[in-house]
Amino acid sequence: MKLPLVPLLTTLALLALLPDRAAARQPNLILIMADDLGYRDLGCYGHPSIKTPVLDRLAAEGIRLTGFHSGATVCTPSRMALLTGAYPTRVGWEQGVVGFLMGKNDGMSSEALTIAEIFHSEGYATGISGKWHIGNQPDTAPMAQGFESAYFLTMSNNQTKQLWRGDEIAEDPFQNRLLTERLTVEAIRFVRANKERPFFLYLPYTAPHFPVQAHPDWKGKSGFGEYGDVVEEMDARIGDLLKTVAELGLEKDTLVVFCSDNGPNPGEKADSQPFRGEKWSALEGGTRVPCIVTWPGVIPAGQESDALFSAMDLLPTLCKACGIDWKSKTGGKPVIDGYDAWDTLLGEPGPHPRQELLFWQGRDAEPQAIQMGDWKLFFDRRNALEGVGTKRMTKEQAEKIAPYRVGLKAKGGNPPFLFNVRDDVGETLDLSGEYPEKIAEMQARAKAVMAGIKADGILAISSPGE
C-alpha cells in the first residue's frame, strides 16, 4: 500500500501526545546508521581504544540500548526491516544483498510502506544522504520510497563508484576515503534547507564498511589502525551535524537515533565481544549492535536498557514519538512486525512489548533461530557452530563449543541448539537436552510466525524445520 506523497494535517489528538513545547511543531527526526559496526566499537559500549566522544555524549544524554538487534545479518534485508518495520521476507527479500546473490530486478517491493512515506504524508521534509542498497530499479529508488531529497549510493562502497543526487550521477568515481565527509556535508545542507519545517533525515553512512580507508585528516589518529580512524571520523562528523542542529536552535526539537545495520564483516578489525558471530550469522554478534536514542528534555538522560529490541521497532516507536498514527497509514496491509516501545525509551514502568524475535542468515529467507524471552533456539545446530559468520570468537568461546563440533561430525544429524542468552551471552552452552518442552514451544511459535508471513507477506516462504 503506497501513500500519496502529499502533506496531511496532524490531528490535535495526536499532537497531544507530544511534549508541550512541540505543540506548534512536530519534532525533527535524525536516523543515523553505521555500516558493519560491531557491538563494542564505540567508547560507550566498551571499546578500549576507539574514541567516540560525540556518541558517548549522546548515550549519556539519552538511552543506550544493549539488547538492540538489527533487522537482519546483512545490508539489504537489514535496511528493508529498518525502513518498513517488517521482517524483510514480508516485503520482498529472498536472499543475499543487492549486487550479490540477488537478481538485477530484485529488491524491496514497491508496495512496501516506508517510514519516509509515512513522515512525508504528515508534512515532513524527508531526505537521505548515504547508502541505499535496497533496490536498483526506479520503483525501489529513494525518490519512489518517500524521500524528497536523495544523495546516495545504490549499493555498498565496494560495489559501486557512483554517487547519485536524485536521478543524476553526482560523482563518478567518488573517493571512498572522502565519503563520510561528503555524506555529512549533504546532511547538513538538508537540515539548513528545511529548518523552518519538521524534517526526517536518514543518514546511512558507508563507514566502516570495507574497503576501510581513512580520510587524510584522520589517518593514523585513532591508535586502532585505519578501522579506528574511520570510526572516529564518523563520530566527529556526527558532531558537526549535531552542532548545526544546535546552532539553528533545533536541538530540543530533534530526536536522534544511532545504530548499525548488522555486526562486523568477516576479516575486519571490528569488535563484537562479548558475543560470538559476525555479519551473515544469526548468532548475537551478527545482529546485536549499538543503538543510542536521545531527545533532550523528553528521553531521560543516563538510561540503559537490555530489553529485546529490533530495528523493526523503530518505525512504530518513532511514529509514536512524533505524534503520527502509523496504523492509519497501513490499513492492516502491509503488516508491521515492529512494536511501539516508546514507553521503554521514556523509562516508564510496565512490560516491554517485544518478547520474541526471528533471526535470519543472510543467504536466504529461511529463519535460523528464534528468541523468546531469554531463550534462543537454533533450529539446526550447524548454523550455530559451522554456518556462515560463526568464526569470530575468543579462544575461550572456541574451546567451549569445540565438543559440540566434534559431536556434530561424529554423530551426524542436526538437532536444535538451545541457549539462554542472558546467562550465556556467547552462546556456548547447549541446553537442548534439559528443556525439550521449551524447544517444542519455540518451534511451534516460529512456525506460527512464518505461517503469518507466508499468508500476509509479498513473498511465500516455507516454515522452519523441526
Q: Write the pLDDT tens digit of every residue in 337-372.
A: 999 999 999 999 999 999 999 998 888 878 999 999
User: Alpha-carbon Rg of the chain, whole angstroms?
Assistant: 21
Say if residue 320 is in the same domain as residue 367.
no
Backbone angles phi, psi at 59, to 5 degrees: -65, -40
Coil, strand or helix at 381: coil
Is 122 within the bounds of a domain?
Answer: yes
pLDDT confidence of 461, banded at 50, 70, 90?
very low
Cell readout for 47 is 571499546
Say if residue 416 is in the same domain as residue 278.
no
Torsion of CA 217, 223, 226, 228, to 10 degrees: -90
Is 133 within the bounds of a domain?
Answer: yes
Other Cβ atoms within 10 Å of 231 Cβ, number:
31
> Which ranges of 273-378 does DSSP label H, i.e. alpha helix?
284-287, 314-321, 327-330, 342-345
Of 217-226, 266-275, 312-321, 358-367, minimum mean pLDDT range:
358-367
Average pLDDT estimate for 25-34: 95
Give catalytic status of residue 322 as yes or no: no
Report which residue type is found at 198. P
Per-residue model confidence (pLDDT) at position 94: 86
Q: Which residues pair with 357 in a beta bridge?
A: 371
Say if residue 298 is in the same domain as residue 364.
no
Measured distance CA(281)–CA(134) in Å, rounded:
20
The residues, ordered by sequence, that sit 6+ positions from 440 with a Cβ below 8 Å of its Cβ are none
Say if residue 227 is in the same domain as residue 274.
yes
Distances (CA, A) of 458 to 53, 77, 90, 406, 438: 43, 14, 6, 41, 31
Distances (CA, A) of 109 to 99, 145, 347: 17, 10, 36
CATH number of the structural domain spanning residue 451: 3.30.1120.10
Per-residue model confidence (pLDDT) at position 32: 98
Cell readout for 320 is 509514536
Average pLDDT estimate for 311-337: 89
pLDDT confidence of 463, banded at 50, 70, 90?
very low
Helices 225-247, 53-61: axis angle to 10 degrees equals: 50
Per-residue model confidence (pLDDT) at position 438: 97
Answer whether 308's CB lies under 8 Å from 352's CB. yes
Per-residue model confidence (pLDDT) at position 22: 41
Measured distance CA(119)–CA(117) in Å, rounded:
6
pLDDT confidence of 412, banded at 50, 70, 90?
low
Say if residue 111 is in the same domain as residue 192.
yes
Q: Which residues pair with 107 in a beta bridge?
A: 135
Q: Which residues pair with 128 in a beta bridge?
A: 150, 202
Residue ending a domain, choose from 355, 381, 409: 355
Using the predicted structure, report yes or no on whether residue 104 has a pLDDT greater than 80: no
Average pLDDT estimate for 81-103: 90
Measured distance CA(1)–CA(16) in Å, rounded:
28
CATH number of the structural domain spanning residue 245: 3.40.720.10
Q: Which residues pair with 135 in a beta bridge?
A: 107
Coil, strand or helix at 216: coil
Is 101 within the bounds of a domain?
Answer: yes
pLDDT digits (tens, 9 = 90+) for 419-446: 999 999 999 999 999 999 999 999 999 9
Distances (CA, A) of 302 to 24, 53, 258, 341, 344: 28, 15, 16, 18, 14
Per-residue model confidence (pLDDT) at position 459: 53
Say if residue 314 is in the same domain as residue 431.
no
Report which residue type is found at 415. P
Is 289 within the bounds of a domain?
Answer: yes
Per-residue model confidence (pLDDT) at position 410: 57
Distances (CA, A) of 444 to 72, 310, 358, 417, 457: 22, 21, 13, 15, 19
Average pLDDT estimate for 209-223: 96
- Which is higher by pLDDT, 123 or 110? 123
Per-residue model confidence (pLDDT) at position 332: 64
- Global pTM value: 0.93
Report the number of distinct structural domains present in the chain: 2
Give catalytic status of residue 75 as yes or no: yes
Per-residue model confidence (pLDDT) at position 24: 55
Say if residue 274 is in the same domain as residue 295.
yes
Q: What is the mean pLDDT of the chain?
A: 90
pLDDT confidence of 411, banded at 50, 70, 90?
low
Domain that holds residue 319: 12-355
Average pLDDT estimate for 327-335: 76
pLDDT confidence of 3, banded at 50, 70, 90?
low
Of 39-53, 74-88, 185-199, 398-412, minimum mean pLDDT range:
398-412
Say if residue 126 is in the same domain as residue 234.
yes
Of 70-79, 232-241, 307-316, 448-457, minimum mean pLDDT range:
448-457
Using the predicted structure, report yes or no on whether residue 397 has a pLDDT greater than 90: yes
Per-residue model confidence (pLDDT) at position 25: 77
Active-site hit among 47, 69, 75, 120 = 75
Coil, strand or helix at 254: strand
Active-site hit among 47, 69, 120, 133 = 133
State percent of the chain over pLDDT 90: 76
